[in-house]
A and B are shown apart, each in its own frame.
Chain A
Amino acid sequence: MPDFRRSDNDRSPLKIVVTVKQVPDPNSNLTLEGDNTISRDKEAVLDPGDECGVEEGLQLKEAHGGEVILVSMGPERARDAIRKGLSMGADRGVLVSDAALAGADALLTARVLAAAIKQEQPDLVICATESYDGSTGMVPPMIAELLGFPQLTFAKKVEVDGSTIKIHRQTADGYQIVEAPSPVVVTVTAAIAEPRYASLKGIMAARSKEIKQVSLADLGVEKSEPAEAIEGVVDAETRKSGEVIEDDGTAVDKIVQVLSAAKVL
C-alpha cells in the first residue's frame, strides 16, 4: 500500500498565514487622548511577538515549500508593519483598514481577521501568544473558533508532518507535545525563533510585493459594539517607595535586618 501521508522531507507546499499587528514602538512613551484612547500618532512598529511568528512561518516555508501571507487589521500606516514582514521574506500581505474599525475590541478584531484569513484557505495560521500593546492573547483563540479550527497554543516548536501539525506547548513546568489535523491556529512564544534581519535585497524586493487592502464591506463583516465601555481611567496605585541606599559595604547588613524584620530569617 502506498503511503499517501506526507513525510517530513516531502515538500508539498504549505499555505501559511501570519497575523501581524502594528503596535506603538516599545521604546517610545505612550500618551493618552482626551477620550482615554491611547494616542496612535506615535512611532509604530511590527509587534516583536509577531516578528517571531513571521520568522517561524518563513522557516516552515523553507522546509516544506509554500507561501507566507501576512494579514493585518489597522490604519493605513499598518502597511509599514506588513512591509517589514515582506522584507524579511514573506510573499504578500492583506491589510484590512476601515474607519469603522477604530476602537475595535478583541471580538471584532477576530471577526475581521478570521474573515480575511478565510479567503486565503490556509493550512496554518500563526499568531503571537499575545500582542505587545493589547497583551491579553484573546484574539487568536477567537480566530480559531470563528474559523472552526483547533488551536495549538504557546508553541516553542512547530513541526509539520503530512496533514498533522505538532507543537511543543510551553507549560508551567515543562512542555506538552500537542498535535492536531490542519488547518490550525498556532500561537508562538518569543522562544520559537530569533527573527532574521531584513537584508537590503529583501527590503528592495518587498517594495514590489503585493499588499491588498480591503474594507469591512469587502469582507462582508458588520461592525459590532465593543464588549465593554470604558467608564473611567485613574492612576494605578503605586507602592510607596522605601529607602534607597548605595552599597558602601553595609548594604548586606541592612538587607539582613529587613529579612529579620519580615520574619523570613
Chain B
Amino acid sequence: MASILVYAELSEGKVAATSLELMAKARELGDVYAVALGSGAKAAAATLGKHGAKVVHVSEDAAFDDYIAEPATDAVASLVEQQKPDAVLFGFTPDSREVAGRLAARLGVGLIANAGDLAAQDGSFVAKVPYFGGSKVASMKANAKPAIVLIRPKSFEASESGGTAEVKEIEAPVADASKRAHIAERVVEASEKVKLEDARIVISGGRGMGGPQNFPLLEDLASALGGAVGASRAVVDAGWVPYSMQVGQTGKSVRPGVYIAVGISGAMQHTVGMKTSKVIIAINKDAEAPIMKMADLGVVGDALKIVPALTAAVKAKKNG
C-alpha cells in the first residue's frame, strides 16, 4: 500500500475545503497521513480523521500562522524524512504552493503542479496536467520519490469516510532561523455577502462591462438571485474590482449550479476556474467569443441592456 502525506491547509483555524478534496483522492491512492500546522490543528485532526486520515501530525505553534512558508517547510521536510511517504499532496493554492516549492527544492525532488487528477501507476504516480494553453491534457509521471503533487481546487468532491485519526504532536519547536517572513498585519477589504466559492449562482463580469461604474448592475442581479459576483482578471488588474472577486487560474475556482459570464471572452485562464459549473450562461456581444462555445446558453447582445432587463424579470417572477 502506498503511503500518502496530505498537507492540510488551515484557514481561520479550519481545514481548507481544498484539503478535504485532496483527502478523498488520497484515500483511493493508499494509506493517508496528514499534517496540520497552526492554530486549530488539533480540531482539524478530528475532521481529517473523518475524511480518512490514519494519523495526523499536528502543531499549534503560532509561528506557523505568523511566518510564511519556512516553518511549515521545516516541519513537512522532517516528516518526509521520518515517514518516507510515496507522495506528498498539496492544494494548488497560494499558501500551499509556497511550501511545496521550498520543500521540493530542499529535498531536491522537483514537483508536478496544477494537476487535475492523479492515479497510481507502476509504483509511481501519474498526474493529469493542463497543457498547451489548456486545450490539451498531459499525463505526467513522477520520476522522484516522494512525488510532490499540487492539485487544483475543486478537482474532487470531498466526502467523509468515517474514522478517527491518531493525533501525533510534532515536538520540535520552530527554529528561530525560519521566523523571517513575518505577517505583521492582516487587512480584510472584502465584505462578501455570499462567499463566491459557496454560492449556488455566480455572476461574473469582464471587460465587456465597460467600467467599474457598471458593476452595480451585476450586484443587483446577484442580490435578486441570492448569488455572488465574480470577475475576470482583466478587470481586477484594471482596478475595477478587488482581487477577492477574481475567478480563474490565479483566482478562485467555483462550481456553482449556474455561472453567468457577462462580457467575458472566455480565456483558458478564466474558464479553468469555472468550467465545471453545472449550467453556464454567457452574455457577450461577440458570437465568436470562446465562452460561447462552452455555454449551455449563449446570448449575443449588449450586457448593459440585458442585465438590467434580466434583473427586472427575475424580480417580477419572484414577486409574481
Which residues of A approach B to under 8 Å, CB–CB? 30, 32, 36, 38, 105-107, 110, 129-130, 135-142, 144-146, 150-154, 166, 169-181, 184, 189-191, 224-239, 241-247, 251-256, 258-260, 262-265
Contact = CB atoms under 8 A, between A and B. Distances in A.
Given A179-B182, A259-B314, A152 B300 contact: no
Given A106-B111, A137-B97, A231 B225 contact: no
A153 B293 contact: no
Which of B104, B200, B226 has its CB near the most chain A CB atoms (within 10 A)?
B104
B280 interface: yes
B296 A243 contact: yes
Nearest 10 pairs between A and B by C-beta?
A: A227-B110, A247-B301, A141-B101, A150-B180, A242-B296, A136-B113, A174-B189, A244-B298, A145-B105, A142-B105
Given A258-B296, A264-B201, A110 B105 contact: yes
B244 A174 contact: yes
- Interface majority SS on A: helix, strand, loop or mixed? mixed
B313 A138 contact: no
A241 B292 contact: yes
B69 interface: yes
B9 interface: no
Nearest to A238: B294
B137 A191 contact: no
Given A176-B186, A259-B314, 6 more contacts: A145-B73, A173-B189, A176-B184, A191-B237, A263-B257, A264-B257
Nearest to A130: B250
Interface in B118-134: 126-127, 130-134
Interface string B217-260: 00000000111000001001101001110000110100001100
A239 B200 contact: no
A130 B248 CA distance: 14
- Interface majority SS on B: helix, strand, loop or mixed? mixed
Contact of A179 (B113, B141, B184, B252): B184
A178 B112 contact: no
A238 B293 contact: yes
Interface residues of B, number: 96
A232 B140 CA distance: 8
Contacts of B134: 236
Contact of B132 (A32, A227, A265): A32
Given A145-B106, A172-B252, A177 B287 contact: no
A153 B314 CA distance: 42
A191 B243 contact: yes
B44 to A, nearest CB: 19
B143 A228 contact: yes
A153 B94 contact: yes
B309 A173 contact: no
B187 A232 contact: no
Nearest to B191: A173
B319 interface: no
23 contacts: A107-B104, A138-B97, A141-B102, A141-B105, A145-B101, A150-B69, A150-B70, A171-B186, A174-B186, A227-B142, A227-B144, A228-B110, A230-B139, A231-B138, A233-B131, A233-B139, A241-B294, A256-B314, A258-B258, A262-B279, A264-B226, A264-B257, A265-B314
